[in-house]
Amino acid sequence: MDVREQFDISVIVPVGERQSDPKTLFADYRAGLAKTGLSAEFIYVVDGQFPAYTAALEELASQGAPITIVLLSRTFGEATAVSAGFERATAPVIVTLPAHAQISADHIRLLVDQLGTVDLAIARRWPRIGGVFERMRRGIFHGLLSRVTHLKFHDLGCSARAMKRRVLEEIALYGDQQRFLPVLADRQGFRVAEIDIPQATNDRRSGVYGPRAYTRGFLDIFTVFFLVRFTKKPLRFFGMIGVITFAIGALAQIYMVIERLFLQRALADRPAFLVATLFIVMGLQIFALGLLGELIIFVHAGGTKDYQVDRVIQFPARGSEAPLSQNRVAANK
């Protein structure tokens, strides 16, 4: 039997460019998790080439620390690292923690304790260290996300999270979607809670990013917007855009045709007529794309599930009555 099956918590630590001293951080994390009264294993996923960090982890493991080290061949991103760590985790509770100080390790137990009532508990660093620009940047990002998802989260950049195993079993992460795991979990019907936890005093980072980072953030929000709102109903998204595009082109053409019939204005020398025709064709194509998406989802809908069963209560049969089952279903929002 795999000795890891004896652990109550599997801690996944993706190691990327931003790092704190591995020995100090491991000691802090281990001490914080000890307050839960549960046993924990640590799975470090090294996302890239960090020989010094890897050597420090190997030294800890050689001293008997419950550490598994997963070395990825190159940099794949935090979402892939979390998924690779989960493949080697066996405990019923999964905790993800960053390879650098973000929260006070003494309060990690608050996340684990919350799993008695929710499926996923995420940390919000509060009170938060940072200047005016940093607060404004966070406010804009989370404000936009709240507008498109109707969910209020305040610190999706924090990687400290605790969850029941089935959360990662049901949700496939890719790209940079690890940040949006709470949003995807809520969409899937899981119960999500955000817990205020003191920020680590040495968690400091400049809030100035390049244009590429802001562009990626905007595109990520758009991706989540589509995944949350239109994954099961693509025609509502593409159909709306297609109808609007088609209507603009059709109305413009009708107007120009009326001018031609009653005001004797020629159409041959009017580029606007060609542009209106292009809008009509584009509208039809976009609408057809949404319809094609609906057909694909209809064909494969039998193999997908967008709800979670919280529990099933069964009572024994009485007389000739069939057994009674009561399902409480966390429906997709």
CATH of the domain at 147: 3.90.550.10
pTM for this predicted structure? 0.79
Q: Where among 230, 255, 285 does a domain terminate?
A: 230
Q: Specify whether 34 is located in the same domain as 88.
A: yes
| Paired strand residues for 197 | 125
Residues 6 or more apart whose Cβ sits within 8 Å of residue 267: 256, 257, 260, 273
Q: Kindly state the DSSP code that residue 116 receives in the 8-state scheme.
A: G
pLDDT of residue 305: 65
Q: Specify whether 223 is located in the same domain as 241.
A: no
Q: Is residue 115 a part of any domain in this protein?
A: yes
The whole domain housing 48 covers 3-230
Q: Where among 230, 256, 271 does a domain terminate?
A: 230
CB-based contact 121:162 (threshold 8 Å): yes
Distance CA 163, CA 37 (A): 17
Q: Is residue 316 a part of any domain in this protein?
A: no
User: What are the residue ranges of helices labelled H in the chain?
Assistant: 22-34, 51-62, 78-87, 108-113, 132-149, 165-170, 181-188, 211-230, 234-262, 271-300
pLDDT of residue 302: 60
pLDDT of residue 85: 94
pLDDT of residue 20: 95
Number of domains in the chain: 2
Amino acid identity, position 149: T
Q: Specify whether 22 is located in the same domain as 163.
A: yes
Q: Kindly state the DSSP code that residue 199 receives in the 8-state scheme.
A: B
Q: Where among 230, 261, 293 does a domain terminate?
A: 230
Q: Is residue 317 a part of any domain in this protein?
A: no
Residues 6 or more apart whose Cβ sits within 8 Å of residue 289: 234, 238, 242
Q: Which of 214, 41, 233 is nearest to 144 (CA)?
A: 214
Tell me how far CA of residue 56 lies from CA of 11, 50, 51, 52, 297, in angstroms. Answer: 18, 10, 9, 6, 48
Q: Specify whether 207 is located in the same domain as 265.
A: no
CB-based contact 272:233 (threshold 8 Å): no
pLDDT tens string, the chain, 333 residues long: the values are 344 458 999 999 999 999 999 999 999 999 999 999 999 999 999 999 999 999 999 999 999 999 999 999 999 989 999 999 999 999 999 999 999 999 999 999 999 999 999 999 999 999 988 788 888 989 999 999 999 899 999 999 999 999 999 999 999 887 778 999 999 999 899 999 999 999 998 887 655 566 777 787 888 888 888 878 887 788 888 999 999 999 999 999 999 999 988 888 888 788 899 999 999 999 999 999 989 988 887 776 566 666 666 666 666 644 544 444 444 334 444
Rounded (5°) CA angle 264-266-271: 145
Q: Specify whether 222 is located in the same domain as 253.
A: no
Amino acid identity, position 52: A
